Chains A and B, each alone.
Chain A
Amino acid sequence: MDKQSDFVLRSIEDKGIKFVRLWFTDVLGTLKSISIAPAEVEKAFAEGIGIDGSSIQGFTRAFEADVLARPDASTFQELPWSSGTAATARMFCDIYNPDGQPTYSDPRQVLKRSLQKAADAGFTFFAHPEIEFYLLKSIDPDNLQPVDNAGYFDHVPGGTAHDFRRKAVQMLEDLGIPVEFSHHEIGPGQNEIDLRSADALTMADSIMTFRSVVKEVAIAEGVRATFMPKPFQNYPGSGMHTHLSLFEGEKNAFYEAGAQYQLSKVARGFIAGVLRHASEIALVTNQFSNSYKRLWGGDEAPSFVTWGHNNRSALVRIPIYKPGKSQAARIEYRAMDSATNPYLAFALILSAGLKGIAENLELPDEATHDVWNLTDVERKAFGYESLPHSLADAIKLAEGSELVAEVLGEQAFEYVLSNKREEWQQYRRQITRYELDRHLGN
């Protein structure tokens, strides 16, 4: 950290940085930022910057207590959309209590705790997400218009989307976030950008940055980007399918030559654990009432707790193994949407998987069908359970989950629950267009 912080202080000088933004994240995954002058940075490293602790609690604030935000020097980056007199850099922060102990409920700390547990078991956790989002002409709810009418992998000549992706990808690369590829998605105006695999903490930071970059670039291009899970009833929602793997040192722990689908025992245990807890952790992986519109919207979102080899209807998909690429062995978790809090979601998925490994859970039978096309009775016969149907379901399942409580820590757990209960209550009061259309005539 010391060399890193030296590097930061030097870079601030060399690049003529005028503002440094300290970023952290509340339990809902909202990015929070405080701006400090370069002269303050050294103090921020040494002592941290005092902030109000309720700022990480989401919109329902339980209590106010002073905490310290201490920047993580390894996350220093100049923000490419700033320049000249406003040259700005950012660093992610860890939150500490005044006594120097990490704040238990800071999402970044939650993930670090889980990663430490994985490290204690000898594992490092890697993730790479495929992030989907819509580009809209504006974010006026009464006038939702995608920027184009193209479809899956369509090339749009001279289109906004193409230019947009080129610029966004360039900016991400400038920020040190490598992009695997990007393409147009199924929905009009819908895009997908895939990030290259990285350790989960770096990736969670990258996802937070990614959302900012995409929104900034969109605005610069005169359009708007949204990560809302399901903005259009008739077009697919924006998921964040995430590829996951565990490494033991340099070795991919998910890979075993000759095993079924090259899945090691560790991988099978991990999947079994994730499947067992998928419904409990849905409150975090799919955190908004709107998330359940995506899960049950009838498009390619997984609604049932299943796994399958290259089965796009399964919750956990095992991608086709490319010979000679043992390092790339991985599983794909398809429930998460683009609006999740990546720190908490990664912490929970990882912990569920580790639990599966530790408890030697048996992997249920593989789903070989297209699960969407089965009837309810057939699914019952095969033992495929469904993910929560609504935010209310998800709250109920999370409330009873020791896993979620333990991983998030009691306080973050409580903040998440109370935020979500409040959201559900507000949502439930809404009178929708659908109801007016149907029932006004009564």
Chain B
Amino acid sequence: MAISRSALAKAGFFDLEQSAKNLAELVEHGKASTDSLISELSKAAEPDQVVSGLLMLGRVSEENLKGALTPDYLPEVVKIFGASAGLIEFFCRHPELLKKHASKPAKLLSFSEYCKQLRSTVAGSKGAEAGQLLRKSYREQFAKIASFDLSEQPTIDSLSKVTSALSDLAAAAIEVALEIAKTKISAASASRAKVLDDLAFAVIGMGKLGAGELNYLSDVDLIFVAANSEGQLEGEYFVVAEALAKEVIKILDSPGKEPGLWKVDTALRPEGKSGALVRSVDSHRAYYERWAESWEFQALLKARPIAGDFSLGEKYIEALSPMLWSVSQRDTFVADVQAMRSRVTSNIPSNEVDRQLKLGPGGLRDIEFTIQLLQLVHGRRDESIRAKDTLGGISALTSAGYIGREDAAVFAQDYLVLRLLEHGLQLQNLRRVQVLPTSDRELRHLARVVRLATTSEELLEKWQQTKISVRHLHTRLFYAPLLNASSNIDDSQLELSTEEATARLAAIGFADPNNALTHINALTQGVSRRAAIHRHLLPVLLQWFAEGNNPDLGLLTYRRLSEELGENNWWLRMLRDSHLAAKRLATLVTSSKFITDLLLSIPESAAWLGDDNELTPRSHEALDAEVVATSERYPNSAELATALRTLRRREVLRLAIGFLLQLIDVVQLGDGISAVHASILNGFVSALRRENPLAFTVIAMGRFGGSELGFSSDLDVIYVYDQEDLDEALATERAKTIVSQLGQLTSDPILPLELDSDLRPEGKQGAPVRSLDSYREYYSRWGESWESQALLRARPVAGDEKLATKFVELINVYRYPKQPKPASVKEIRAVKARVESERLPQGADPNRHLKLGRGSLSDVEWLVQLLQFMFSNEHPKLQTTSTLKALSVATEAGLIDSKEANILRRSWRLASSIRSALMLANGRPSDILPIDRNQLEALARILGYPAGSASKLEEFYLATTRKARQVFENNFYALK
């Protein structure tokens, strides 16, 4: 009779066609009816696997297959075979054991009972033979633990039982392996036997084994300690102890008919892989006293004597554990913790990051890290929380009041879910796996083994929820309790002492934890709604502040902003509802003094953080329209000045935030800042011309003309007027009034602004403002080539448009000459050379000067301007004030090699970005790439480099500008 495939589907088979064939074959062996067999198989996690496993067994031993198919044994076989392909292989290697396994109920034993079991199997044999038997016996017991596990409802309690049994079994295997090894060594040499008699040898379990929370299959971390009766380990004693350790490892993990159990990892020993395999207690102590790093102490948290001489093992623990508990006092602890934390989240291959159970955000390591960090920070004073295992740690921390009960319960539950998934995966192939499979079939298998879900989709869903919960809880557990320190807001909440809270804050990088605590208290004290929301928000924010460059500044600014904004609904709502906004706020306030100062002067601007539209530069039209509307509202120029000052601060802040958050690049920044200034100048000039009627215009020069401004305060401008039908003296008088008033109106103590007209004819000696005729006269008679060059950047930005047009016509003759004279070109080159040697500040390193240095801004700009001066008549598209645009045109026109142009562009953008970033970081302008490592680090972070990139940024800048300088030299003096 053909087997119905729908019946198989109903019974939970996956590969219906293949399994139907297999099943038919199987039925022939057994006496049971197909239906009863299918009904039993439907209980398996993966019925297909049971069927193919049974067939495999049949090929090894027909008799045992028959036995397995009898009703007495079948349920157990289905359970084990359905969950573990690895155990199927084991029973196929030893078919005689299957009956033995299935005939007794699965029971968990103690360490000494396991020892007894293993010993009795090994008894009478020795050497490699004994090792084989030991491993076989281990797997027999292992199968029993698996069977127990698969029969229980998965709970925290059952998980503890299983992991502790696995640890005891592993320890027993090590103990018996040690006995075998001793026998072998004694038998081989009488002198060694004598040494062995006087040698105490202990095995310390580290990691999960030490903590008694071993999983089904992972590396087992061990440390070996030994000493003779005088506590020494020298000469022959060391040789024998080392041989013993090596033999133990060999017995546990050597290939053979019965394969090795697990990889023994001894890398946690002092000096890691290059250190001695066995040391005395004193030698361990000496190492930890002098050399050990914080993470090595962290590893000690889990150390436990598990085999060999337990009294020696205890001596090891006694010697080292005091040091473990003072590790949080080390100077480097903060940095070490951050490094440990980043180890949790980094170094995961990108194709695995979404499937990693152990590493990565929300993984097992995240839970363990959180618990261990809390233990390290608080365990120094409080011995009650020094539990070795994670579940024990959670419960001890809860009892002692360091974490809340509800959080702890959720955390433990999450841990359970992740561990179950891990166990299910490992049990299947008896391999060390931490990555969830991708195939539907494997996921489904896993879901049914761990009984958390029935389909792969449900399983993934469950796992995602758990990951999110874990990430959230790290913050809740570590940061939330800080809020309640010494503030009696709510008796039901747990409470940290001030000392405990400062210890935590210091551990995460607050330089002044006492002050930080004051801020936290000020924010969260009281019964107001505001305080309640801060209590909710701060845990997350504190974590982000701690990850930033300057956590202390971040928290202080946050407090001041919150005080400014008071009970404003939107502020708290935004922070509460927008993860993005809160995260951005944390980035800004921990990295930029410039932004912090402006934010505090316009607190309402914080509202932009939740809205990308608000952080994109406003269009030129919108800015102009707002200025015009403002001017109409405030006919009085003093009032107008106040209004436009606010507008300027606001728009500069918007651009600064956009730049720091990398929403806009340095070119957009330059355009945006230049546009803001053009608009407000236009507003002021219009108002002043109403009071002093005159054809008057402002011409932007330099970077302002090129729309390339950064955050520094200087605006290069020149002023032009035309007397038209006015009396000459009156026109001059009015022009001077406008210029001097313009200077006064635009000044701003908070965000300084300086109108610099030094580029005017005759520089500082010249008249501050000239008429169009006077410019014409001057340029025709006196104008020098460098002035023509400066005019390349001239761009009218405010005032009378007709006059502006006339002025532009006038200067075009000079800046875009039809036939540039060789003498003029030579003069420009000479001036450049002089500027290089003279303008650089005394003692400044030219390689680090962002503006006048080697290959930085001015090299690029002078080269571009020389190209414009020489060729813009021939290539009219070169007639632009923008450096980068002119450079593109010159490349298209073949005036400069495109590779070289790229080098120049990169250098110009980098130097410009660094100047802006320096202003953002320090709140004051600087033209020098800093030497100080902390400043470089802050700078690198603003520019989007990962933490620890100070040298990288420096090296990149120096290389980029060096290459740019080569391009400059190849071209500037060679252009023809």
Interface residues of A (CB under 8 A from B): 2-3, 5-6, 42, 62-63, 65, 97-99, 101, 104, 400, 405-406, 409-411, 413-414
Contacts and interface: CB of A to CB of B under 8 A. Distances in A.
Contacts of B948: 101
B384 interface: no
Contacts of A414: 847, 958, 962
Q: Can you list the 6 inter-chain pairs with the closest CB atoms, starting with the nearest? A: A410-B958, A99-B933, A2-B291, A2-B271, A410-B959, A65-B931
Given A62-B845, A65-B931, A3 B271 contact: yes
A2 B290 contact: yes
16 contacts: A2-B271, A3-B275, A5-B290, A6-B286, A6-B290, A42-B290, A65-B931, A98-B933, A99-B934, A99-B950, A101-B950, A104-B954, A405-B959, A410-B954, A410-B959, A413-B962
B948 to A, nearest CB: 8
Among B286, B937, B954, B962, the most chain A Cβ lie within 10 Å of the Cβ of B962
Contacts of A62: 845, 847
A224 B528 CA distance: 86
B897 to A, nearest CB: 15
Contacts of A5: 290-291
Contacts of A99: 933-934, 937, 950
A405 B847 CA distance: 14
A405 B290 CA distance: 39
Interface string B139-157: 0000000000000000000
A2 B286 CA distance: 11
B550 to A, nearest CB: 15
Contact of B955 (A3, A65, A104, A400): A104
Contact of A97 (B286, B287, B933, B955): B933
Contacts of A6: 286, 290
B958 A63 contact: no
Contacts of B966: 400
A137 B105 CA distance: 96
Contacts, number: 52
B274 A101 contact: no
Contacts of A406: 959
Contact of B274 (A3, A63, A97, A410): A3
A97 B931 CA distance: 11
B958 to A, nearest CB: 3
Interface in B944-960: 948, 950-951, 954-955, 958-959
Among A63, A405, A410, the most chain B Cβ lie within 10 Å of the Cβ of A410
Contacts of A413: 962
B951 A101 contact: yes
Interface in B267-296: 270-271, 274-275, 286-287, 290-291
B293 to A, nearest CB: 10
B958 A411 contact: yes
Contacts of B933: 97-99, 101
A400 B966 CA distance: 8
A432 to B, nearest CB: 31
Nearest to B275: A3
Interface residue range, chain B: 20 to 34
B287 A2 contact: yes
Given A3-B271, A104-B951, A409-B955, A63 B287 contact: no
Interface in B285-337: 286-287, 290-291
A416 to B, nearest CB: 13
Nearest to A411: B958
Contacts of B287: 2
A97 B271 contact: no
Interface string B845-856: 101000000000
A412 to B, nearest CB: 11
Nearest to B854: A414
B845 to A, nearest CB: 6
A409 B286 CA distance: 39
Contact of B931 (A42, A63, A405, A410): A63
A93 to B, nearest CB: 18
Contacts of B275: 2-3
Contacts of B962: 405, 410, 413-414
B296 to A, nearest CB: 11
Given A3-B275, A42-B290, A101-B933, 17 more contacts: A2-B291, A3-B274, A5-B291, A62-B847, A65-B932, A98-B933, A99-B933, A101-B950, A104-B955, A400-B966, A405-B962, A406-B959, A409-B955, A410-B958, A410-B959, A411-B958, A414-B962
Nearest to B332: A100
A65 B845 CA distance: 13
A2 to B, nearest CB: 4
Interface in B392-441: none
Among B933, B934, B966, the most chain A Cβ lie within 10 Å of the Cβ of B933
B837 to A, nearest CB: 15
Nearest to A399: B966
Contacts of B290: 2, 5-6, 42
Contacts of A409: 955
Nearest to A100: B335
B951 A97 contact: yes
A226 B286 CA distance: 46
Contacts of B291: 2, 5
Nearest to A64: B931
Contacts of B932: 65
A116 to B, nearest CB: 15
Contacts of B954: 104, 410-411
A2 B270 contact: yes
A400 B845 CA distance: 21
Contacts of A104: 951, 954-955
A63 B845 CA distance: 8
Contacts of B951: 97, 101, 104
A42 B291 CA distance: 10
B900 to A, nearest CB: 14
A30 B287 CA distance: 36
Contacts of A42: 290
A97 B954 CA distance: 13
A392 B933 CA distance: 35
Nearest to B271: A2
A260 B290 CA distance: 55
A409 B959 CA distance: 8
A405 B962 CA distance: 9
A104 B955 CA distance: 9
A4 to B, nearest CB: 9
A150 B104 CA distance: 95
Nearest to A414: B847
Contacts of B270: 2
Contacts of B286: 6
B242 to A, nearest CB: 15
A376 B950 CA distance: 51
